[in-house]
Amino acid sequence: MKNKYRTNSCGELTIKDKDKYVRIAGWVQKIRNLGGMVFIDLRDETGITQLVISDIEKFSEVFNEINTECTISAYGKVVERASKNLKISTGEIEIIVEEIEVLGKCKNVLPFEINSDKNEAREDLRLEYRFLDLRNEKLHKNILLRSEILHTIREEMRKLNFVEIQTPILANSSPEGARDFLVPSRLHPGEFYALPQAPQQFKQLLMISGFSRYFQIAPCFRDEDPRADRSPGEFYQLDFEMSFATQEDIFEILETVIPSVFKKHSDWKVDKTPFIRIPYKESMEKYGTDKPDLRNPLIIEDVTKQLEYMDFKGFEGKIIKAIKVQNGANNSRKFFDNMVKFATEELGASGLSWIKIGENKNITGSIAKFISEEIKQKLIEKLDIKEDDAVFFIADKNGVVQKLAGNLRIELGKRLNLLEENCYRFCLIVDFPMYELSDEGTIDFCHNPFSMPQGGLDALENKDPLDIYAYQYDLVCNGYEIASGAVRNHDPELMVKAFEIAGYSREDVEKRFGALFNAFMYGAPPHAGAAPGIDRIIMLIEHEDNIRNVIAFPKNKKARDLLMRAPSKVSEQQLKDVHIKIDIEDDEV
């Protein structure tokens, strides 16, 4: 049966179709009325075809209903264009219209210009009219490419003998590091489901069930604050798990699948495998972050020892970090002043000091007068300082100074255009601490609570918790964490001990993770896995700075869906059905 609206798409007709009679349908992108002749650019997601109406009187009635962004169907003869447009695939032909029909009317005034390259409309307005915004060519292509990337991921996982299995959306609460979204139960008054922050327990249970290799493109739900590289509320990840697997087995999968996806869908250079492994502590010291951008050549050095006898109050009793910039002395005084302003006003640092190395290694700069000849030689040796180099110093207490230096390193890389271009630089961050101190000073899990501690039960029983490493790892690309994973703890007694250190009793473990705890007693295999973030991978491939530009229907910066008006109030009857009473003032809602 032939389609009544179109025989061809708007992007497929070429000069080879000359003299054919065709019917096409799409959105009116542009109308040019030249008096005796009207030209219409008709668009669908495959491209644009030019329509020509020479008999204006014949179509006078229908013209009143045709405006930009309405949908029409047109029938006519394909002819060769006199004035060709070789920038588009259909630019050698046009269609002389014999029949035209309006399929969907459109308001005369649009909320914003849809196909403007400037895209000047404010983001909240574009999200409110997302169905229009998605007609924008660039954004539309982003979503189409997202589909292709997901297809590639599935193909790669299938090649590696992974089986796709869906896990429940209505689940139980789990300590994954963020707040849960809770769903009240109608059938069980006072009880709640939780939307899964990740399919963690389910995928481990699948391994215990005898499935060797599992994966899914999993929706995950976390009630956390939004940011440019994180979608609020929900996101998707490539969730996978393997039985009888070690950390290196997981790395092999990551180093097979992820480069394949990037190479297929981008023309940028991709790092060769195996990816560089960087221990967590080394990453924090050298880069000031556990997600270093290796395109940036700057390295952070600890110079506390070299400057310990320096008579400068800004450094007294503090850890001192230095960043050397090769040929950085050639920058203006204004550049150095602006970096000081950035460190103090935007990073909240107590100060930023700097020096420039000139001819014969003479030193100038904000703290030059405090640097003795002996200290200068120590710095030259430690930092391998050459003429025309500049060095920035930042000081604070341990744990804070690393992050300050890390943000300073990032900003210097941007302002000095030091980042390697057109490439994806990967690394694996390994040896994460099993535990960390919470803001309240208590022991808490640092990463995934279901991870295997390095050293097993002996480490849990005999080491300081803050000295225990876990078999946990992150995959980082260009400064973004794009995957996280771990070797799982599969021993019930080890699991109890691990949670006890973090303040959970045996009863808590059995109550909150009863299914997993019980399953561990029935022949659990060693297993491990990881979860690359789909949205961030697509954001990197599509060279977008904002993750909302690769999601069809994202929420705004305040976690609201402006298109569907969510979240929203519900009726008293709906609340009554799930046994909920609202205890909040109207002006707080």
Q: Which of 19-28, 90-99, 382-391, 439-448 has the lowest mean pLDDT?
A: 439-448
Looking at residue 56, its pLDDT comes to 84
The CATH number of residue 584's host domain is 3.30.930.10
Q: What is the pLDDT of residues 481-510, one digit of tens each?
A: 999 999 999 999 999 999 999 999 999 999
Instruction: Identify whether 56 is part of a domain.
Output: yes
Most confident of 112-121, 275-284, 514-523: 275-284
Among 419, 452, 478, where does a domain finish? 419
What is the DSSP-derived secondary structure letter of residue 53? E
The CATH number of residue 315's host domain is 3.30.1360.30
Looking at residue 584, its pLDDT comes to 77
Calpha distance 159→264 (Å, rounded) = 16
Looking at residue 3, its pLDDT comes to 87
Instruction: Identify whether 548 is part of a domain.
Output: yes
Strand partners, 40: 31, 51
Instruction: Identify whether 468 is part of a domain.
Output: no
| Category of 4 on φ-ψ map: left (φ > 0), alpha (ψ -120 to 50) or beta | alpha
Are 206 and 308 members of one domain?
A: no
Calpha distance 158→315 (Å, rounded) = 56
Are 88 and 142 members of one domain?
A: no
| pTM beyond 0.85 | yes
Looking at residue 283, its pLDDT comes to 98
Confidence label for 177 from pLDDT (cuts 50, 70 and 90): low
User: For the CA atoms of 196, 197, 198, 201, what is the dihedral angle to 10 degrees?
Assistant: -60
The mean per-residue pLDDT over the stretch 293-307 comes to 97
Q: Which of 114-123, 325-334, 553-562 has the lowest mean pLDDT?
A: 114-123
Are 140 and 248 members of one domain?
A: yes
Cβ proximity of 355 and 361 under 8 Å: no
Instruction: Identify whether 461 is part of a domain.
Output: no
Are 51 and 145 members of one domain?
A: no
Looking at residue 175, its pLDDT comes to 59
Instruction: Identify whether 163 is part of a domain.
Output: yes
Cβ proximity of 328 and 389 under 8 Å: yes
Provide the mean pLDDT of the chain: 94
Looking at residue 550, its pLDDT comes to 96
Assess whether the previous peptide bond of 199 is cis (omega < 30° from 0): no
Burial of 178 (0-12, 13-18, 19+ CB in 10 A): middle
pLDDT at residue 589 tops 50: no
Instruction: Identify whether 478 is part of a domain.
Output: no
Looking at residue 230, its pLDDT comes to 78
Residues comprising the chain, all counted: 589
Confidence label for 63 from pLDDT (cuts 50, 70 and 90): confident
Q: Do β-strands 423-424 and 269-270 pair in parallel, antiparallel, or remain unpaired?
A: parallel
Looking at residue 587, its pLDDT comes to 54
Are 124 and 263 members of one domain?
A: yes
The mean per-residue pLDDT over the stretch 175-186 comes to 83
pLDDT at residue 328 tops 70: yes
Looking at residue 436, its pLDDT comes to 93
- Domain, as residue range, for 554: 120-272+526-589
Instruction: Identify whether 425 is part of a domain.
Output: no
Cβ proximity of 142 and 549 under 8 Å: yes
Are 139 and 263 members of one domain?
A: yes
How many domains does one find in the chain?
3
Looking at residue 119, its pLDDT comes to 64
Are 40 and 157 members of one domain?
A: no
pLDDT at residue 40 tops 90: yes
Are 227 and 301 members of one domain?
A: no
Calpha distance 240→12 (Å, rounded) = 39
Are 356 and 305 members of one domain?
A: yes
Calpha distance 549→546 (Å, rounded) = 6
Q: What is the pLDDT of residues 421-461, one digit of tens each?
A: 999 999 999 999 999 998 888 999 988 888 999 999 999 99
Cβ proximity of 157 and 215 under 8 Å: yes
Per the structure block, which two tokens stand in for 495? 């699991």
Q: How far, CA to CA in Å, does 273 sit from each of 142, 425, 486, 573, 583?
A: 27, 11, 20, 58, 56
Are 263 and 176 members of one domain?
A: yes
Confidence label for 176 from pLDDT (cuts 50, 70 and 90): low
Instruction: Identify whether 506 is part of a domain.
Output: no
The CATH number of residue 99's host domain is 2.40.50.140
Strand partners, 269: 423
Comparing C-alpha atoms, which of 513, 432, 426 is closest to residue 466? 432
pLDDT at residue 145 tops 80: yes
> 3-state class of 481 per DSSP?
strand
